Structure 1
Amino acid sequence: MKGILVQLASVLILGIGAFIGAYSLTWVSYTAPLLESEASPLGVVMTKSQTNVMTSVVTLGSMVAALTTGQLPELVGRKKSELFCGLLCVLSWALIASAHSVTQIIIARFILGYGVGIHLVVVFTYINEICQAFIRGTMASIPLFTFSIGALVSYITGWVCSYDVIIYLNLSVCVLFVLLLTLMKESPVYLITKNETKEALTSLKFYRGTSKTTTAVLEEFEYLRTQRQGYTKVNKDDNIILEHIGCEKEKEGSADDISPWKILRTSKPTQRAIITLTAHVIITAFMGGMAVQAYAVHFFLAAAPDLSPHLCSVILAVAIVIGNILAVLCTDLVGRRLLLISTCAICTICLGTLVGLLRWSGSPAWAVPLVMQLYSCAFQAGVNNVPLVQLSESFSPKVKSLASSIVMSSTCFSNFALLSIFSLLVDHLGLDGTFLMFCVISAAATVLTFLTAKETKGIRLEEIQGMYERGFLYYK
């Protein structure tokens, strides 16, 4: 029990990075109207185009980070990578606090996005390597839960707090994140990779809540060592296969000899897993969930002018929190595949209903916000959650950082593209036309996930890779 509490506390600390990311994304929702007004705290009035850049540049920074820092966790470790992320976030909010120009705000937001991007690449790998197998799905859902808490706190403080108070609150959270990270230990899997056996065993005992080297700890330590050093092997056809071969060096190649890029080039299961998860995150990003959160105040001003947009935004954030609570509860209970397919279908129904409400007048004022709450809840519960959980489960340790970099950079690029064009879509298609497009994409995502989504709940790595070996389509 103590070990589970240590793992939970560690994951909650890592979840602060997601909290920071959510706050950073939604900050623009209520700050942009102020910066575009004559009362702008910058001393200059920000234009609509500058607001769009300020909104989307965070996701651009995250995309650049995912593309350029994919091997950072393998070079310096998971803990130091997260510390670097925290320091970048501290620097960013310090720049925003002292900003008197639009350029400085945009640069600071890019740095913030870069830091959050590093966090996205590292966090799920870190969680997977420090948590026990039977709770990994639940633990991997917690950063998404803290993301939703960040959005909720952001909307509430944006409603009741001043511009300066919000900035210094964010700066304080970033400093707290860095301080708490110093209490954690490096991933035992990373330490095994660096042949730091004593430190790796100490780390594993820390995360299992014991100061003694028990039989269970030794067995798990040996399993981690063989998984890292002996699960990848080149067969006679020059294909990478997964089989338990222990810690011995093989004449044909060993995990230490083979680079992640070679595994990616030669392993069809790894290629198919990356393609499948990348396709999922791209198509689900264009279902519109991130745009609704980033432009919440603007959206509710246009869609439900009779209601307080700040109140609607807070209620939206509550729905996102509920969705992530469901994700934490259901990911290991229901299973990945069913949760993903069902939430995609619910999102499609909600988006179709929303289109009808926006296009034909006469519906109650509360109807649009209610449908948006249901949509956001379903989106967070499965659509936004499951691919990231599976990202931590579907790859061998040797290639996991590279796979995370590829999939997360695709996520960031998709969100950046969506946020960049969302205002243009609304201007040219209207809200109803824009959400009709999201509805069509959501329907396509439902079909795609039904055909290709794998069930990874409670399944060992070699079995998951075996499913991808059989092809892209799902077979029981």
Structure 2
Amino acid sequence: MSTAPLSAPRPSPPMPRRTGRLFALTGAVVGVIYGYDTGSISGALVFLSKDFDLTETEKGLVNSILVFGSILGALIGGKLADALGRRAAMLIVACSYAVFVALSAVAPNVEVLDAVRFLLGVAIGISIVAAPLYVAESTPARIRGASVAAYQVATVVGIVLTYFVNWGLSGGGHWRWMLGLSAIPAALVVIPLLRLPDTPRWYVLKGRTERAVEVMAATDPDADPHAEVAAVRAALTEESGGSVRSLLRKPYARAAVFVVGLGFFCQITGINAVTYYSPQIFEEMGFTGNGQNFLLPSFVELASLVAAVLAILIIDRLGRRVVLLTGIGTMAVMLAVLTVVFSAGKLHGATTWVGFAAILLFTAAFNFGFGSLIWVYASEAFPAQLRSTGASVMLTADLVANLVIAQFFPSLMAKAGAAATFAGLGVLALCALAFAAVTAPETKGRQLEEIQDYWSNGGRWPTAPEPGPVGAGPLGGSAASPASPS
């Protein structure tokens, strides 16, 4: 039965060629805002704690309430992106960022601040599902890895900016400006979002095939838009639905285990302990003079920015697995170094700078591996019908681990000590390395609709298809014998 409307749709506005670049740029701006809002509390908390006379428990809640909201946002983000569209979800995110960031800057007490930060967290949760989807579904396969990884680069840029802003404003303790400055770019990004279309794959999902062809032609002028849209439509017809229950059935149960594990290990290995509490960590290392504990995190994030850019340059050449495993392995080594450094007792002289270098390389390695690849795998692991649901599940696991780190890292540092805390994180990093080595597929250069064959074939890429009718395989792919695991 045709899904075309009874009346002719209104003509769509013409789109410039290479519209895919505009998708990627808009997603990157949202990433910058997300990064800024994530990191701004690290400096602001030092001063607002004094203004509001906060206890240690209240300090932890100010930090972790954002993560609570993010978990809710990630849970609903996939459904929202499917129902309203990827672009509509991005518009909701941009408007929410502008409003809630501004309100947090004028909060009269900690109760209002907590409520506003919870709502800001919901917007962040939606954004980390919708933004990678928006970019991944609108860029050609040959550059998709780099385009989605650029979202992580943008996030790091936002964190770099927040640390420099925190340092610049720390002299006067202007925590309200620290929290509120990102409202301006959040409001401005609404303008290009109003002009851009939704993604070709979402239009196919809603039965708007002609519009999908138009957008596909604009985002990838070198491809055959009719053939690409036909492939998307064929993949959609083979799927039974986009529910979480579908992720637990073959052939995608294996993919679900992979993305949930990757999302959890991404955060439980401790990256946001550095992001949220870096001024306190550097103060414990002995960096206290001239606002060093505010300035040094900026250089840490600059190194992370370089690492994330490097990942973009090689991710579509060397492949996903090389980048991911190198990043996690380096994290494990640096956590071992931190364990040794803090085991020596009070840091001074050379050990202080060794500790700083280990923190710098640990954070850079995260952004090179985990930080760049989680967005790529979240947008690649599932076919269109399950993509937003799978991304929501993956990023919810990520945020749950984030919540654990945000809530308990300061207590562990105080009670168990820095050496034991970093040793525990090092063990978790080794577990993450083993998990990724066994489960992570190499999806370099693969079409989104093609990747489903990997999971349906038991975690192996199929060989050349055997002769037979279309749809002979379990999901319309080939029924060929398996190749060696990637």
Shorter-chain TM-score tier: 0.7 to 0.9
Matched residue, 1:230: 234
TM-score (norm 2): 0.85
Paired-residue identity, %: 22
- Structure 1: where are the runs of 5+ without partners? 210-215, 233-253
Aligned pair partner of 2:413 in 426, 430, 455 = 426
Structure 2 residue 172 is matched with structure 1 residue 182: no
Work out which of the residue numbers 396, 401, 404 in structure 1 matches 2:391: 404
Bigger shift: residues 420-429 or 355-364: 355-364
2:293 maps to 1:289:
no
- Structure 2 contact 265–428 (Cα < 8 Å) conserved: yes
Q: Report the Cα distance in structure 2 between the residues aligned to 1:262 and 1:3, rounded to whole angstroms.
A: 36
Unpaired segments ≥5 residues, structure 2: 1-15, 461-483
- Describe the superposition over 1:114-133 as per-residue Cα deviations: whole angstroms up to 9, x where unpaired: 11111111112211211011
SS of the counterpart of 2:442?
A: coil
Offset at residue 3 of structure 1 (A): 4.5
Task: Pick one of 376, 380, 389 that aligns with 1:393.
Answer: 380
Query: For 1:342-397, what per-residue CA distance to the aligned partner results, in whole angstroms no more than 9, with x for missing partners?
Result: 21111111110111111115661321111111111111001222132122122111
> What is the CA-CA distance between 1:141 and the residue it aligns to?
0.4
2:298 is matched with which residue? 314
Name 1:33's counterpart in structure 2: 46
- Give, in whole Å, the separation in 2 of the partners of 1:372 and 1:416: 21
CA distance in 1, matches of 2:115, 2:97: 12
- CA shift digits 1:188-241 (9 cap, x unpaired): 2212222223433332343246xxxxxx55x223322332x3225xxxxxxxxx
1:349 correspondence with 2:333 = yes
Aligned to 1:259: 241
Of the candidates 122, 125, 133, which is equivalent to residue 133 of structure 2? 125
Is the contact made by 1:189 and 1:225 (CA closer than 8 Å) also made in structure 2? no
Deviation at 1:335, TM superposition (A): 0.7
- Decide which moves more: 454-463 or 350-359: 454-463
Indicate if the aligned counterparts of 2:129 and 2:395 stay in contact, CA closer than 8 A. Answer: yes
Q: Is the 8 A contact 2:235 2:384 kept in 1?
A: no
One-letter amino acid of the structure 2 residue matched with residue 224 of structure 1 = V
The secondary structure found in structure 2 opposite 1:385 is helix
Say how many residue pairs are matched.
439
Q: 1:310: Cα distance to partner?
A: 1.4
* Cα contact 1:304–1:368 (8 A) shared by 2: no
- Change beyond 3 A, Cα 1:165–1:418: closer
Q: Which amino acid aligns with 1:178?
A: V
**RMSD, matched Cα:** 2.1
Q: Return the letter of the residue paired with 2:87.
A: K
Pair 1:270-2:252 in alignment: yes
Cα deviation code 1:139-182 (max 9, x no counterpart):
01011001000000000011113334334421112111222322
Amino acid at match of 2:202: Y
Partner of 1:247: none
Distance 1:327 1:185, change over 3 A: same
1:65 Cα deviation from its structure 2 partner: 1.0
Q: Helix, strand or coil: the match of 2:41?
A: helix
Equivalent of 1:417 in 389, 404, 408 = 404
| Offset from partner CA, 1:250-297 (integer Å, 9 cap, x none) | xxxx448x2223882674231211111211221231111111111111
Task: Tell me the distance in 2 between the aligned counterparts of 1:226 and 1:435.
Answer: 47
For 1:414 and 1:187, locate their aligned partners in 2 and report how far apart those are by CA, in whole Å: 30
Contact map agreement 1:320 1:376 (CA 8 A) in 2: yes
Partner of 1:324: 308
Cα distance in 2 between the residues matched to 1:13 and 1:343: 27
Residues 1:199 and 2:220 are matched in the alignment: no
Inter-CA distance 55–265: structure 2 relative to 1 (3 Å threshold): closer
**Corresponding residue SS for 2:188:** helix
Cross-structure match for 1:82? 90
Quick check: 2:213–2:226 contact (8 Å CA) kept in 1? yes
Aligned residues of 1:93 and 1:170 also touching (Cα < 8 A): yes
Does residue 374 in structure 1 map to residue 361 in structure 2?
A: yes
Q: Cα–Cα, structure 1 residues 121 and 397, in superposed 2: closer, same or farther, change >3 Å? A: same
Q: Pick one of 433, 438, 446 that aligns with 2:425.
A: 438
Partner residue of 1:158 out of 166, 186, 189? 166
The amino acid across from 2:138 in the alignment is I
Distance 1:369 1:358 in 2: 12
Contact 2:209 2:229 in 1 (8 A): no
8 Å CA contact 1:276, 1:472 repeated in 2 = no
Amino acid at match of 1:12: L
Q: 1:71 aligns with which of 49, 71, 79?
A: 79
